[in-house]
Structures are given as structure tokens and as C-alpha cells.
């Protein structure tokens, strides 16, 4: 067996130096770990930047706010030298909404056609992002930019992206950078994510703005309609007030003439004048009451002690003088005394009993029941023949409803039930109507107290 050859000193030094170099050189695993760590840090930075943009967009309330937020926040996050945000108009043009680092006259860039020779217009036409990573490729595609007021050092690369939401192009944003940029997949993904967040915020802001405009228009129309109705009601009140004196003169003259006239035909005609004049007087009073209720200071009640049974008997007697189509009957039980406005309640029960007689079927009867056995007095006007259609019950007390259903010349403005309800409410009472099985009942409940409702 041959003995091992001893390494010479120079050979050993060479081997030690090679081993030292091998130890100092990173292994492939170490290189991969370092690359992965750098990528992780980059992803973390990207996520932080996207979150900053998203958080800022959450505070944007209008399309203008969204545009400003995209330009300022994204510009800072991307270290861009400049940015512009345009919104699409209804006529298909681009309107400048926000800008940063824009050189030259802003006025000439405020409104652009969709075929403008700019990267942003190209991105909107294509419906997808476009990237120019260096000055040379940019001016080849757009020679006009070589003569723009933006210096080349601020325009070394450009990214232009459309703002798209729900398949609609809402606008676009473009960023310029002071250095060449390869726009690798990770960079493009970051830009696209930021702009997608901006697109959603812009769509939300547009919806909010549309809702706000609609609400303002609606409120304006409501105000205008309310004012028109108020003026019409005032006009009706003024007209009714001005008609009272001429009508009173006509009625007075007819009464005087009737007292001296013995010709039956003339007397009959004068009687028609008096009957029609009385109906007109009631209509005028209804218009005046309606005006006081709607645009005036409210009702003034002249409170006094009143016996409702006696008041209702007067109502029945008055109706019997002018109508023979229905039989009227009145019944009462208990104490029907209280402190009320007699004239107002006379009008209420005249309206209720008069409606029951006027709209009852031939051969029917109208009953008025008064019950004074409780702390409140209950008055029911019941029509035994003639129901009210169910669809009319919810709106029966609305003003002018009766006029819409007018079938004979005897009907007025349809204010009687509305005014009756308001008079009852002024006494802190209630009024209800029910109709079934051919029978209709109006029920009024009145507290005995004379304290007026506020």
C-alpha cells in the first residue's frame, strides 16, 4: 500500500481560500428566501397603499370628491409626478374633474373628445388600461406629447386606466412618472386594484348625487304644489267672502217680494230663489270654514251649555221641511248636556243627517240615536237603506271627494264631511263611519268638557 501524499503548503492555502469563498457565497436556498422576503415586503407595501386609497375613497361623498381623492391619494402612494381624472359626460365627452402636477393651461384640457390624441382617451376607447414604460415609446405613439408643456423629465412613463363599474365607463385616470417603469404584472395589478376601488366609489357617489337631486326636485315640486294649493284656498275664501253680501241682498229681496206677491206662479219662482239662495249660502259658509281650517288661524269656538238632544231635534225639523224622501226618527237616553259650540255642532249634525237623507234609497229611514249615559255623549246617524262603497270609506272625510262623485245638481263642493270632522276634532271628539249590509252609520263621540283642543 502506497503512503498518502502530504499536501504541500501552497495547495493547502488554495483549498482554504476556495472553501472560504464557498462559505461566503449565498446558497440557492438563501437566494430564494431573500427574493421571497423582498416580494413579501413589496406585497405588504402594495396592500398598505391600496388600503390607504380605499379608506380615503370611503370618505368621498360626491363624484368630485372621488376624483380628487383618486388623484391625490393614489399619486402619493405611487410616487407619481402628476395625475388627471376625467369624468364621462352624458354627450360622450371627457370633463376634467381633478388634476395634480398639470403643466400649462388647464382651460384647454377641461373638456376633451373621446378621440383626443392622449393615452387616457385611448384607454377609454379600448375599455382597458394602457401603459407606456418609457419616453421613447410614449412619443412614438403620441408625437404631440413631444411638444407639450409637460417637461420630459416629468413624463418618463404613463399609466392610463378607465373607471369602469357595472359595465359602464364612468371616466378615467392617468398617472405620469418621473422615471421609466416596466409596469410588471404586480405593478399593473396594484394600479388596476386602486382604480377599481375608485370606480366603485365613483358609481356610489353618482347614485347618491342622483338620489339627492331627485329628492331636491321632489321637495321643490311639493313646495310649489303646496303653495299653489294654499293660494287657491285663499282665493276660494276671498271669493266666498265677497259673494256673501250680493247673495244676502238677493235673498232679502226675494223674501220681501214674496211677502207682497199673491200670484202662485211668481211665489213658486221666488221660493225656488230662496231655496237655491239658502243652498248657495251654505256652500259659501263651507268654503269660508275650509279656508279658516287650511290657511287661517284655526277655529274659534263659542262655548256654551248645550243640550244635544234639543239641537238634533232642530236639525231633524229643518230637514223635514225640505225633504220627504226618507222618514227621520230621533231617540235619546241619559244626560245629553255639555259645553260645546252650538252653531258648529248644528252644522255637523245637519251635514250627517242631510247626507243620510239625500243619499238614502227610496223608502228608507234615517235614525238619530243619542246616548248620554257615559262621560262622553255619543250621537249616531244611521241610514237603513244605502251602503257606501267600501273603496270610498278611507277617503270619505277628505276635502272635495264628494264633488268628484257628484251625480245630481244638489251636491256641493264635497266639503261637508271634511268640515264636520274638523269641527268634531276641535271639540276633542271623534267621528267614525261604517257601512255594511245596506246600512251606513256615522258615530260622533263628544267629551262634555268645554276645554278646546289645542
Query: Within this chain, do residues 279 and 332 fall inside the same structural domain, yes or no?
Result: no
Torsion from C-alpha of 284, 287, 288, 294, nearest 10 degrees: 180
Indicate whether 205 and 231 sit together in one domain. Answer: no
Does residue 175 come out as left (phi exceeding 0), alpha (psi in the -120 to 50 range) or beta?
beta
Which 3 state secondary structure label does DSSP give 379? strand
Total structural domains in the chain? 3
Query: How many Cβ atoms sit within 10 Å of the Cβ of residue 175?
Result: 28
User: Under 8 Å CB-to-CB from 226, ≥6 apart: which residues?
Assistant: none
Is the pLDDT higher at 324 or at 426? 426
What is the pLDDT at residue 404? Answer: 46
Measured between alpha carbons, how far is 268 from 413 in angstroms, rounded to an integer?
Answer: 27
Look at residue 395 in the predicted model and tell me its pLDDT. 84
| Helical axes 416-426 vs 264-295, angle rounded to 10° | 50
What is the predicted pLDDT for the residue at 43?
Answer: 46
Query: 3-state class of 350 per DSSP?
Result: helix
Long-range contacts of 45-49 (CB under 8 A, 24+ apart): 46/186, 46/189, 46/190, 49/77, 49/78, 49/190, 49/194
Alpha carbon distance 168, 310 (integer Å): 76
Whether residue 357 sits in one domain with residue 250 = no
pLDDT digits (tens, 9 = 90+) for 221-252: 888 877 776 666 666 666 666 676 777 788 88
Report the phi/psi class of residue 414: left, alpha or beta, with left for phi > 0 and alpha for psi in -120 to 50: left
377 in helix, strand or coil?
strand
pLDDT, residue 4, reads: 47
Give the span between the Cα atoms of 87 and 414, in whole angstroms: 55
Q: With contact defined as beta carbons under 8 Å apart, do 144 and 117 qualify? A: yes
* Segment 246-302, tens digit of pLDDT: 777 888 888 888 888 677 888 888 888 887 877 777 777 777 777 777 766 567 788
Q: Is residue 358 part of a domain?
A: yes
Note whether 209 and 62 are within 8 A (CB): yes
Per residue in 340-376, pLDDT (tens digit) is 999 889 889 988 888 887 776 766 788 899 999 988 9
Please report, for the domain that includes residue 151, its CATH number.
3.30.450.40
Residues 276 and 140 reside in one and the same domain: no
Domain hosting residue 367, numbered range? 304-447
pLDDT of residue 357: 79
Given a cut of 90, whether residue 186 has pLDDT beyond it is: no
Residue 194: how many other CB atoms lie within 10 Å: 25
What mean pLDDT do residues 24-35 have?
56
The verdict on 174 and 34 lying in the same domain is yes
Residues 308 and 283 in one domain: no
Looking at residue 371, its pLDDT comes to 94
257 and 405 share one domain: no
Mean pLDDT score of the chain: 79
The answer to whether residues 129 and 253 belong to one domain is no
Domain match, 313 and 370 both: yes
Which pLDDT band holds residue 54 (cuts at 50, 70, 90)? low
Q: Which of 205, 351, 366 is nearest to 283 (CA)?
A: 351
Instruction: Give Cα 187 distance to the centre of its chain.
Output: 44
Mean pLDDT of 82-95: 92
How far is Cα 399 from Cα 293, in angstroms, rounded to an integer? Answer: 11
In this structure, what CATH number is given to the domain that contains residue 344? 3.30.565.10
The answer, yes or no, to whether residue 3 has pLDDT greater than 50, is: no
Q: What percent of the chain has pLDDT over 70?
A: 76
**Same domain flag for 225 and 192:** no
Three-class DSSP category at 312: helix
pTM higher than 0.95 for the full model? no
Calculate mean pLDDT across residues 417-442.
88
Amino acid at each position: 500500500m502506497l503512503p498518502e501524499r502530504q499536501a504541500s503548503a501552497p495547495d493547502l492555502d488554495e483549498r482554504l481560500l476556495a472553501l472560504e469563498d464557498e462559505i461566503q457565497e449565498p446558497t440557492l436556498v438563501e437566494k430564494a428566501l431573500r427574493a421571497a422576503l423582498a416580494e413579501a415586503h413589496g406585497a405588504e407595501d402594495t396592500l398598505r397603499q391600496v388600503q390607504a386609497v380605499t379608506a380615503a375613497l370611503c370618505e368621498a361623498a360626491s363624484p368630485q370628491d372621488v376624483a380628487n381623492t383618486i388623484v391625490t391619494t393614489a399619486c402619493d402612494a405611487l410616487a407619481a409626478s402628476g395625475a388627471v381624472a376625467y369624468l364621462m359626460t352624458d354627450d360622450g365627452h371627457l370633463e376634467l374633474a381633478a388634476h395634480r402636477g398639470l403643466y400649462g393651461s388647464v382651460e384647454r384640457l377641461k373638456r376633451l373628445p373621446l378621440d383626443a390624441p392622449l393615452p387616457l382617451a385611448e384607454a377609454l376607447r379600448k375599455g382597458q388600461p394602457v401603459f407606456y414604460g418609457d419616453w421613447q415609446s410614449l412619443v412614438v405613439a403620441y408625437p404631440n406629447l413631444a411638444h407639450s408643456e409637460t417637461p420630459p423629465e416629468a413624463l418618463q412613463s404613463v399609466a392610463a386606466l378607465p373607471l369602469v363599474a357595472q359595465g359602464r365607463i364612468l371616466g378615467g385616470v392617468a398617472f405620469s412618472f418621473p422615471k421609466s417603469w416596466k409596469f410588471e404584472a404586480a405593478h399593473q395589478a396594484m394600479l388596476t386594484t386602486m382604480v377599481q376601488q375608485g370606480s366603485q366609489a365613483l358609481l356610489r357617489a353618482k347614485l347618491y348625487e342622483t338620489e339627492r337631486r331627485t329628492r331636491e326636485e321632489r321637495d321643490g315640486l311639493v313646495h310649489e304644489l303646496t303653495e299653489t294649493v294654499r293660494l287657491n284656498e285663499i282665493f276660494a275664501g276671498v271669493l266666498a267672502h265677497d259673494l256673501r253680501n250680493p247673495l244676502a241682498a238677493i235673498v232679502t229681496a226675494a223674501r220681501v217680494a214674496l211677502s207682497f206677491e199673491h200670484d202662485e206662479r211668481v211665489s213658486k219662482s221666488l221660493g225656488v230663489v230662496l231655496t237655491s239662495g239658502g243652498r248657495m249660502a251654505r256652500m259659501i259658509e263651507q268654503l269660508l270654514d275650509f279656508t279658516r281650517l287650511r290657511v287661517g288661524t284655526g277655529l274659534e269656538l263659542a262655548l256654551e251649555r248645550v243640550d244635544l238632544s234639543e239641537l238634533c231635534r232642530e236639525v231633524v225639523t229643518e230637514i223635514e221641511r225640505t225633504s220627504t224622501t226618507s222618514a227621520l226618527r230621533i231617540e235619546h237616553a241619559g244626560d245629553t248636556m255639555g259645553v260645546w259650540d252650538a252653531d258648529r255642532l248644528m252644522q255637523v249634525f245637519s251635514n250627517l243627517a242631510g247626507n243620510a237623507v239625500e243619499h238614502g234609497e227610496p223608502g228608507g229611514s234615517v235614525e238619530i240615536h243619542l246616548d248620554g249615559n257615559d262621560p262622553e255623549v255619543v250621537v249616531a246617524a244611521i241610514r237603513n237603506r244605502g251602503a257606501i262603497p267600501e273603496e270610498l270609506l278611507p277617503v270619505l272625510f277628505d276635502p272635495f271627494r264628494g264633488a268628484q262623485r257628484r251625480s245630481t245638481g244638489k251636491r256641493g263642493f264635497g266639503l261637508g264631511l271634511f268640515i264636520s270632522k274638523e269641527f268634531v276634532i276641535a271639540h276633542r271628539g271623534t267621528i267614525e263611519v261604517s257601512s255594511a249590509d245596506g246600512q251606513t252609520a256615522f258615530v260622533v263621540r263628544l267629551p262634555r268638557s268645554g276645554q278646546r283642543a289645542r
